[in-house]
Amino acid sequence: MEQRGPDSPDPLKALSEETSRRTRARLKIFFGMASGVGKTFAMLQEARLRHQEGVDVVAGVVETHGQPETEALAEGLEVLPKRRRPFRGEQIEEFDLEGALARRPGLILMDDLAHVNVQGSTHARRWQDVMDLLDAGIDVYGTLNVQNLESLKDTVAQITGVIVRDTVPDTLLNRADQIELSDLPPEELMERLKEGKIHIPDQAQHAVDRLYRKGNLLALRELALRRTAQHVDADMRRYMEAEGLKGRTWAAGERILVCINSKARSANLIRAGRRLSESLAAPWMALYVETGKHIRYSEEERARLEEHLRLAERLGAETAVIQGDLSTGEDILAFALAHNVTRILVGRPAHSRFTELFTGSLVDDLVRRSGSIEIEVVPLEEPGPRVREHKVRTPGRGATLDHFLWGAFMVVLVTAFNLTVGRRMELADWVMLYMLGITVVATRFGRWPTLFAAALTVLGLDFFFVPPIHTFRVDDLKHLITFVVVLAAALIISNLTERMRSQMRLARTREQRLRALFRLAGELTRTFGSKPMMDAAIKILTDHFQGSVSISLPGPNGRLVQHPHPKSAPLADSEQGVAQWVFDHHEAAGLGTDTLPGARALYLPLKGSHGLIGVMGIQPQGSLEDMEPDQKHLVEAFANQTALALERTLLAEKNLDTQRRMDREQVRSALLSSVSHDLRMPLAGITDAAAALMREDALPPEDRIRLARTIHDEGHQLHRLVTNLLHATRLESGVEPERTRVSAAEVVETALGRLRPLLGDREVKVELPANLPTVLIDPALVEQALINVLENAHRYSPAGEPIEVKAWATPRALTFCVSDHGPGIPEGQEERIFEKLVRFQQGDARLGAGLGLAICKGIVEAHGGKIQASNRPQGGASFRISLPLEAPVSDAPVEE
C-alpha cells in the first residue's frame, strides 16, 4: 500500500470538497466599475446560452431601462411575477422571494444585488434574498458594482467624494463561484452617459458629476480589476489544493522572496532583490526567520537586522518575521508556498565547506526541496574591511556559576547512586543513568552547563566504572567510542533543549505582545471621544513598553500640542522640535533612526486614511536596540491602530460639530420664518392703535383706554415672544445655567408676579408645603419655564376656570406641577408637544409661535431635570417639572 506523508494531500478530502463545490447551488456575479459597463447585457447573453442548453432560466429582477439591445436579449425568458407592496402611499413592485422558492427554477437572474427592498419584504436587502435562493439549491446570476462592496466603501468615498449607502458584504463576493468582469474604457462609458444610455435614478443625480469623471472611473476600474484578480487567485489556490498541487507554485505571476539575516551582506541582497523586482515588474518580500540564534545576537547585530528590515520597506518590499522551526530551509519554503513565491534570493555562503559538515548548508537544503521554485544565489561582498564580529551575550540569558554547580551536583548524585545501588548493573545501564542526569541538566540550565556535565560524566565513567578503575587510563577502544557518543548525545540534547527554551521565550513574548495589541484594539473600540481614546492608548502603551508615551495633535496654528496625561512627561523644547519635524515630513525620527538620533524617544507619524493626524512618541525602558525586530513592528502596529481609531473619532466629532452647527442654523432659519407672522401681528396692532390715537384728538376716554390697552397687551405679547427667542438662542448655543440656591416659593411667586398683567383676575390656586427644600438652579431660566407653562395653561383653558400650581419634594428631586381645566393635549402628542414650532389648535385660543414648551424642555434638561405632560382624568392638562436637588454630574434625567 502506498504511504502518504503528513503533508501529502488527502485525495478523498479533496474529492469531497470539489464534489461539494460542484453540487451546491452556484452563484455567478457580473462585476463592473459603474453602471453602464454592460453587466446586465452580459448576464442576459449568458442566460440565453444556458436556456438554449435546456436549463430552466427565470428572470427574477432584470432592469433593462428601456435599452432596445437589452430588451431584445430578455425576450423569450420567463419573468417571475413581482409582488406589490405598499410604500409611502404607493404600491411598489418588489421581488417575490416566496414565489421564486415555490417556482424553484434551475437558474434565476437577479439584477443589482445591492438593492434595498421595500419595508415589509422578507429581507431588507436583495443579496439576502439571493442567499436564500442559493440555500434552496437554485443557481443565481447577479450584477454588482465595485463601489457597492462594504470593504471598499471608505476607499470609494475618498476617491469620488460620494458615500455609497447601499452596500453588500464581501462574503457575498467570496461566496461567488465565478466572477465575470464587464469592462469599458472610461471615455466610452462617459460617452454612453452623454447619449442617455445609462440609467441614473433621480435620487442619485447629484452623484453623477462626481462619479463619472475620468480620474474617478480609472480608479474604480483599477479597484474592480484588482478585486476580480483576487478572486481568480483564490480560485487557483482552491484548484491546486483540490488537485493535490499544494506543494508547488504556479508561475501565473512572478513573486520574489529575499531571505535576509543580521549580516552586513544582507543589505546588498535586498538591493539585488529590488533590482530584480523592477526588471520583472513583480512584487517582492523580505523574510527573516527568527531562530534560537537570535537570542544570542549582539546589540550591533540586532540594530543591523532592524536596519535591513527598514531598508526593504523603504525599497517597496513587504517584510515578514516568522518564528523558525527545526529547519530554516523548511520554514522558508513553507512561507514561499503559502504566498505563491516563484523565486527565492539567498546570499552565497561565507563559511567554509568544513563548517557546513556540522551546521549544514541553507542553499543546498533550499535547492533540494524547492520543487518548482527557482533558487537564485547572489554573490555578495562584505562592505568595507572584514572585521571579526564578537558575540555579546545578552545579560540575564546566559549560564551562571550556579548552573554549572547544579550540573556538577547532578553528576555527583548519579555517580553516588551507581556506586551504592548499581554495582550489579552493566556499563550500558550506568551510561543510561548518566544520560538521564544530563537530560535533566539540559532541560533546566541550557547548553554550556550540559556540556560541562557531559565532560564530568565521561570523567566519572572512566574513573569509577571503566577498567582499570580509579584511573583515567582507557585500555579498551570501545570505551572511547562510548565517551564520544555520550558527548555527542549531550551536545544534541543541549541544542534541542536550548532551541525549545528559546522558542518558548519567543512564544511567551509574542503572546504578551498580541495580548497588548488585542487589549489596545478592544479599548479603542469601546472608547468614545478623542481625549478618552488617547488616554487609553497612552496607558496601554506605557504599561507594555514600561516607558514614557506621548501623543501630540496639531493645534489651530499647525503646531503640535501634547495631549496631557499623568503618565506622559511634558516634552522638552528639543523633543517638541523632533515631533514637529516628524509631523511636517511624515517620517519617523528620533531614537533608533537615522534622523535626529540624539532624541530621547522614537517619534512615529500617526497616519490615517485621509492624511497625517498627529505624532506618537515612545521612550521605552532601556534602549531600542534591546527590542526584537517584530517588537519594533509592533510599535508601528500600535501607532497605526491608534491613528486609525483616533482619525475615526476625530472625524466623527468633526461631523457631529458640523451637524450641530447645521442644525442650529436650520433652527434659526425655521424660527425666523415661523415667528415672522407672530412678530408682525403685535407690531401691526401697536402701530394701528398708535396711529388711531394720533389721528383722532377727540376720542372718547373709553376708546382711548381701549387703544392704550391694545398697545399694552400687544407690547407685552411682543416682549414675551422676543424673550422666548432670546432663550431659544441661548439654549442652542449651549450656555451653562448660572446656578444659585433659591426656594421653590420664591420661584413660583416671582413667576406669578411677572405674569399677573396677563392673568388679570384669573384665579391661580397655589399649594406649596412649608418644608420644601431649596434647589440649586438658574432662577431666571426656571422662572421663564414656569411662566411659559402658566401662559400655556391660561391660553388653552376657559377664563372662568382656575389654574393650579403645586410643588412637592422627594429625596432626589423637587417637582412643580401646573394643571388646568382645558380640553387637554391631543392623544399621542404628549411628547411631540415639546418640539420646536409644534402648535395645536385648541378651541378659540390664539396660536403661539410654538417655542414656549420647547424652551421649557431645554431649560429643564440643561438643569439635568425632566418635564412631562399628561391629561388629567377629570379633564385638562398637567405639566410636571422635576429638578434635581443637587447639581447633576451627568446629563441623565433625575429620578422622581
CATH of the domain at 105: 3.40.50.300
Residues 766 and 875 in one domain: yes
pLDDT in tens, 562-594: 988 887 888 888 888 999 999 988 888 888 777
Residues 708 and 588 in one domain: yes
d(CA 311, CA 305) in angstroms, rounded, equals 10
d(CA 73, CA 366) in angstroms, rounded, equals 56
534 in any annotated domain: no
Residues 764 and 782 in one domain: yes
Query: What is the pTM assigned to this prediction?
Result: 0.39
The pLDDT of residue 314 is 84
Average pLDDT over every residue of 625-639: 67
Q: How confident is the model at residue 175 (pLDDT cuts 50, 70, 90)?
A: confident
Q: How confident is the model at residue 387 (pLDDT cuts 50, 70, 90)?
A: very low
Q: How confident is the model at residue 726 (pLDDT cuts 50, 70, 90)?
A: low
Residues 695 and 740 in one domain: no
> Has residue 522 got a pLDDT over 70?
yes
3-state class (DSSP) for residue 36: coil
Using CB atoms within 10 A of its CB, is residue 428 exposed (0-12), middle (13-18) or buried (19+)? exposed
Task: Tell me which of 242, 267, 284 is where a domain ends.
Answer: 242
41 in any annotated domain: yes
229 in any annotated domain: yes
Q: How confident is the model at residue 754 (pLDDT cuts 50, 70, 90)?
A: confident
The pLDDT of residue 60 is 92
Torsion of CA 643, 648, 652, 653, to 10 degrees: -10
Average pLDDT over every residue of 734-739: 69
Residues 360 and 447 in one domain: no
85 in any annotated domain: yes
Query: Which has the closest alpha carbon to 428: 378, 388, 485, 376?
Result: 485
Using CB atoms within 10 A of its CB, is residue 795 exposed (0-12), middle (13-18) or buried (19+)? middle
d(CA 467, CA 471) in angstroms, rounded, equals 8
The pLDDT of residue 108 is 94
813 in any annotated domain: yes
Question: Cα-flanking dihedrals φ and ψ of residue 35, to 5°?
Answer: -65, 140
The pLDDT of residue 205 is 53
The pLDDT of residue 637 is 80
How much of the chain exceeds pLDDT 70, in percent?
79
- What's the whole-number average pLDDT of the chain? 78
Give the range of the structural domain holding residue 221, as residue numbers without chain letter: 11-242
749 in any annotated domain: yes
pLDDT in tens, 866-893: 888 888 888 888 999 999 887 543 333 3
Q: How confident is the model at residue 140 (pLDDT cuts 50, 70, 90)?
A: very high
C-alpha cell at 451: 556540556
Average pLDDT over every residue of 590-614: 84
Query: Which has the closest alpha carbon to 454: 393, 404, 398, 402?
Result: 404
Are the C-beta atoms of 371 and 334 separated by less than 8 Å? no
C-alpha cell at 171: 462574503
Task: Tell me which of 690, 715, 735 is where a domain ends.
Answer: 735
The pLDDT of residue 817 is 93
DSSP state of 58: E
**Overall domain count for the chain:** 5
pLDDT in tens, 830-845: 777 777 656 555 554 4
Average pLDDT over every residue of 292-315: 77
Going by DSSP bridges, is the β-strand pair 107-110/90-94 parallel, antiparallel, or unpaired? unpaired
513 in any annotated domain: no
The pLDDT of residue 566 is 81
Mean pLDDT highest for which of 196-210, 692-706, 784-798? 784-798
Comparing 766 with 434, which gets the higher pLDDT?
766
Residues 170 and 35 in one domain: yes
Residues 631 and 757 in one domain: no
Q: How confident is the model at residue 17 (pLDDT cuts 50, 70, 90)?
A: very low
Cβ-Cβ contacts under 8 Å for 411 (sequence gap 6 or more): 434, 437, 453, 456, 457, 460
Are the C-beta atoms of 305 and 272 separated by less than 8 Å? no
d(CA 602, CA 634) in angstroms, rounded, equals 13
What are the helix (H) ranges across 104-166?
126-135, 153-160
The pLDDT of residue 354 is 60
Which domain CATH number covers 346? 3.40.50.620
Question: Cα-flanking dihedrals φ and ψ of residue 179, to 5°?
Answer: -125, 125
Residues 650 and 728 in one domain: yes
d(CA 314, CA 569) in angstroms, rounded, equals 32
Residues 346 and 284 in one domain: yes
Residue 605 preceded by cis peptide, ω within 30: no
> Has residue 757 got a pLDDT over 80?
no
The pLDDT of residue 13 is 44
Distances (CA, A) of 694 to 170, 345, 461, 690, 702: 79, 104, 135, 6, 16
Which domain CATH number covers 741? 3.30.565.10
The pLDDT of residue 109 is 94
Residues 228 and 271 in one domain: no
> Has residue 728 got a pLDDT over 70?
no
Using CB atoms within 10 A of its CB, is residue 66 exposed (0-12), middle (13-18) or buried (19+)? exposed
The pLDDT of residue 888 is 46
Are the C-beta atoms of 183 and 224 separated by less than 8 Å? yes
Comparing 187 with 398, which gets the higher pLDDT?
187
542 in any annotated domain: no
Q: Please tell me the least confidently modeled range out of 251-255, 344-348, 573-577, 702-706.
A: 251-255
Which domain CATH number covers 724? 3.30.450.40
Residues 809 and 720 in one domain: no
Other beta carbons within 10 angstroms of residue 10's beta carbon come to 11
Residues 45 and 56 in one domain: yes
112: left (phi over 0), alpha (psi -120 to 50) or beta: left
Other beta carbons within 10 angstroms of residue 796's beta carbon come to 21
Average pLDDT over every residue of 137-155: 87
Q: How confident is the model at residue 27 (pLDDT cuts 50, 70, 90)?
A: very high
Task: Tell me which of 735, 750, 783 is where a domain ends.
Answer: 735
The pLDDT of residue 138 is 93
Torsion of CA 847, 852, 853, 859, to 10 degrees: 180
The pLDDT of residue 111 is 92
> Has residue 490 got a pLDDT over 70?
yes
> Has residue 639 got a pLDDT over 60?
yes
Comparing 245 with 346, which gets the higher pLDDT?
346
Average pLDDT over every residue of 237-266: 71
Greatest extent of the chain over all pairs of C-alpha atoms, in Å: 154
Are the C-beta atoms of 139 and 110 separated by less than 8 Å? no
Are the C-beta atoms of 782 and 747 separated by less than 8 Å? yes
The pLDDT of residue 735 is 57
What per-residue string of b and e applies to 799-817 under the rule 16 or more CB within 10 Å gives b?
A: eeeebbbbbeeeeebbbbb
Going by DSSP bridges, is the β-strand pair 78-79/83-87 parallel, antiparallel, or unpaired? unpaired
Q: How confident is the model at residue 286 (pLDDT cuts 50, 70, 90)?
A: very high
DSSP state of 548: E
